[in-house]
């Protein structure tokens, strides 16, 4: 199992936030990485539609909650339907403001 390639989909609209994640995964040779910059494209990837009909299924999703067009929560909802057994992480700088 050590030699098995694992696959991660990073959905992050801010390049400065995605870069350290990509660097971290590149240090581990057993990871294949895909990065998309909005939730709509993440859905295309997950549902294998549009230009993503021949892509692999991720073993891990890293989703930004606050993305344009389709947010990370909507992507997560779809991911749970099509990719059972995958892990999901959703780092976000979003904070609830105190009232």
pLDDT tens-digit map of 23-41: 999 998 899 999 999 999 9
92 pLDDT exceeds 70? no
* For the chain, domain boundaries: 6-66+75-83
Cα(9)–Cα(5) distance, integer angstroms: 13
Pairing, β 6-11 against β 31-36? parallel
Whether domain 6-66+75-83 has CATH 3.40.50.2300: yes
Reading the block at residue 37, the tokens are: 């910059």
**Beta carbons of 98 and 72 less than 8 angstroms apart:** no
Between 32-36, 40-44, 84-88, the lowest mean confidence (pLDDT) is in 84-88
Mean pLDDT confidence for 61-86: 81
Cβ-Cβ contacts under 8 Å for 9 (sequence gap 6 or more) = 34, 35, 36, 42, 45, 46, 58, 60, 61, 62
């Amino acid at each position: 199992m050590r030699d098995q390639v694992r696959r991660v989909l990073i959905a992050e609209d801010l390049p400065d936030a995605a870069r350290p994640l990509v660097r971290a995964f590149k240090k581990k040779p057993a990871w294949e990485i895909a990065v998309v910059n909005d939730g709509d494209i993440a859905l295309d990837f997950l549902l294998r539609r549009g230009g993503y009909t021949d892509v692999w299924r991720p073993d891990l999703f890293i989703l930004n909650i606050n993305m344009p067009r389709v947010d990370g929560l909507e992507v997560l909802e779809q991911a749970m339907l099509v990719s059972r057994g995958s892990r999901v992480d959703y780092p976000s700088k979003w904070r609830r403001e105190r009232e």
